[in-house]
Amino acid sequence: MSLSALTLPLLKAQERLQARLREIPPEPGVYLMRDASDQILYIGKSKKLRSRVRSYFRQIELLGPRLELMVRQVVEIEFIVTDTEAEALALEANLIKQHQPHFNVLLKDDKKYPYLCITWSDTYPRIFITRKRRRQEQKDKFYGPYVDSRTLGQTLRLVKRLFPLRQRPKPLFKDRPCLNYDIGRCPGVCQQLISPEDYRKTLQKVAMIFQGRTGELIDTLTAQMEQAATDLNFEYAARLRDQIRGLQTLGADQKVALPDDTVSRDAIALAKNAQYACVQLFQIRAGRLVGRLGFVADAQAGSEGAILQRVLEEHYASADPVEVPTEILVQTELPEAEILAEYLSRYKGRKVALLMPQRQSKADLIEMVARNAQYELERTQKSCDRNTAALADLAALLDLPETPRRIEGYDISHVQGSDAVASRVVFIDGLPAKQYYRRYKIRNPEVRPGHSDDFASLTEVIQRRFRCYADSTATPEPEDWPDLVMIDGGKGQLSAVVAAIETLNLVSPVVVISLAKQREEVFLPGAKLPLVTNPDQPSVQLLRRLRDEAHRFAISFHRQQRLDRQRRSRLDDIPGLGHHRQKQLLGVFRSIDYIREATPEQLAQVPHIGPRLAQQIYDYFHPSE
């Protein structure tokens, strides 16, 4: 068989498909589906491998859009046989965690719900809130997604007041800690005034809060406080006392009435329509609601029980064993509840029960969770309908043949030409897609302090964005090609961008408009007058959201560049003069003015500054000589 035949999808090579299916045994195990480039597309489990894998290729139109797209790319199927279904589930979880196949993601990361991230891969881990759950390092830990972002922010702010934690992603100063160290908010991470081991011990206590183990943490701190008081270490005991009081305020008004408030339990339910399935998971520890997590899944991914089971599998696969409760209440019967319960019990090290309550307080709890899921579904659907209406109105306003899916917005930011930058933001289906955002430093030498040129800056940015498609016979990728480009500005900026695009001779046309700030007017290329619009119509509001996001993104980058320039020392521009040698110089001469006045011989007397580097420093401050 030729190599090209082996890279054909199995759907187009029926003989090879049938032969492969006959090789798969009817035993429990895990199957891996690969594409032509040998990438793993999907990892699944089954108690009968042959039946499960065969079902994918019988009527693929019944699988749903996501799995149908996956099956059409499958070139090879591998399998691993296990002794039991629980072992297959554990192996599947480990393989998914290791390879992270694209089609295994049931839950949609639509940036609506925030996560809390702890970067355990760093020497001094950071803790922050993010809406991107892209694990760059296997050691990094994500908690969530949390439905109530305001409560999450308040909790994190309280935690940072109670525990001395790293406050900044980058140090503010090179040779000394900032104000956070002086007021006790930070242990001096930037200057390594605390060892990584001691800092991690503090952060492990903080992680217990987001694991739902606040009560356990309070008990631990209470024991430490009593021991410190016994040892007459009253200052440390008082600090522990303040931490305990602060922790006791978390969730003080979130009591959930259940007959047994000593059991840790999760309650999960969903509400779905033809498009979305909104899942809510309530985390209850010692009778208190410590976390309310939300997930959005494709409604066509399966039955309600199958979706709930997949959500639980994905959620607990990234959780630590201590985070798994001993009791999980589910809204409907799960297709493989016994297998999941056995796997979670083995993972946690003690029995985990999956219950579907029918009456009394536990059934009321499930009903409350389902009611919250229904509210989230209504909100999600309203947001989707609003964006759909805005995109349809925009297509009608601009007379576009189809509804624009990908819209790009560009803006320029500077202060009288200094630190000039540009931004590109992308909306897909009316929602921000931050993974496609880009920042640009303006390289045009004519744009400098005291001389700004927004036309030239926009021309440069547009040419840098589309030059890879200039005079090219290659068709742009649909995911990378905009259906609409919006410029923040008036007719002048729009004309400059259109002229820049025309010089590139692009294969595919680019639809460009501009939105003027003053009167929110929409201009088309070549038109003398703006389009007749209503400020309250959905399409204009969508363009304004895009413009404001581009403006925000550009402003933040400009401020960052300006702050970096203000912090930058002239000594940084001297080749070979690193941070340590700069400290040696300033320790001897006290200021840059004295360094500039020093002779090469005087500079060479500084430790670690030899005659050659001393001459380079002197030549830098005296270029005319």
Domains in the chain, ordered, with CATH? 3-104 (3.40.1440.10), 265-379 (3.30.420), 406-565 (3.30.420.340), 570-621 (1.10.150.20)
What is the CA angle 79-56-12, rounded to 5? 95
The helix (H) or strand (E) run that includes residue 597 is: helix 592-597
How buried is 30 (Cβ within 10 angstroms: 0-12 exposed, 13-18 middle, 19+ buried)?
Answer: buried
Question: Which residue, among 530, 558, 557, 527, has the nearest Cα to 452 in the 3D structure?
Answer: 558
As a whole number of angstroms, the distance between CA 407 and CA 459 comes to 18
* pLDDT tens digits, one per residue of 230-255: 888 888 888 888 888 777 766 554 55
* pLDDT tens digits, one per residue of 540-598: 999 999 999 999 999 999 998 888 877 777 777 788 788 788 888 888 888 888 888 88
Question: Which residue, among 316, 306, 417, has the nearest Cα to 45 in the 3D structure?
Answer: 306
How buried is 334 (Cβ within 10 angstroms: 0-12 exposed, 13-18 middle, 19+ buried)?
Answer: buried
How buried is 251 (Cβ within 10 angstroms: 0-12 exposed, 13-18 middle, 19+ buried)?
Answer: middle
* pLDDT tens digits, one per residue of 279-338: 999 988 877 777 888 888 888 777 899 899 988 988 888 788 888 899 999 999 998 888
Q: Is the pLDDT of residue 489 over 60?
A: yes
pLDDT at 412 (0 to 100): 94
Please tell me the pTM assigned to this model.
0.66
- Bridge partners, 79 (sequence order): 31
What are the two backbone dihedrals, phi and then psi, of residue 124, each rounded to the nearest 5 degrees? -115, 95
Q: What percent of the chain has pLDDT over 90?
A: 21
Are 326 and 266 in contact by the 8 Å Cβ rule? The answer is no
Which residues, other chains included, contact 297 with Cβ-Cβ below 8 Å and sequence gap of 6+?
106, 107, 108, 270, 276, 277, 278, 279, 307, 310, 311
Per-residue tokens: 170 = 């980058």
Mean of pLDDT values over 369-376: 90
Identify residue 530 by its one-letter amino acid code.
P
Question: Which residue, among 65, 87, 80, 86, has the nearest Cα to 32 in the 3D structure?
Answer: 80
CA 224 to chain centre: 37
Q: 588-607 burial by CB neighbour count: b if 16+ within 10 A, else e?
A: bbeeeeebeebebebbbebe
- Catalogue the long-range contacts made by 63-67 (C-beta closer than 8 Å, 24 or more residues apart): 64/298, 64/300, 64/301, 65/300, 66/103, 66/298, 66/300, 66/301, 67/42, 67/103
As a whole number of angstroms, the distance between CA 193 and CA 209 comes to 25
Phi-psi region of 256 (alpha: psi -120 to 50; beta: other; left: phi over 0): beta
Per-residue tokens: 198 = 């001691």
Q: What percent of the chain has pLDDT over 70?
A: 93
Are 147 and 293 in contact by the 8 Å Cβ rule? The answer is yes
* pLDDT tens digits, one per residue of 423-471: 999 998 888 888 889 999 999 888 888 888 899 999 999 999 988 887 6
- Quickly tell me which residue has 């992680």 as its tokens: 207
How buried is 494 (Cβ within 10 angstroms: 0-12 exposed, 13-18 middle, 19+ buried)?
Answer: buried
- Quickly tell me which residue has 């987001």 as its tokens: 210
As a whole number of angstroms, the distance between CA 568 and CA 552 comes to 24
* pLDDT tens digits, one per residue of 15-45: 888 888 889 999 999 999 988 888 888 898 8
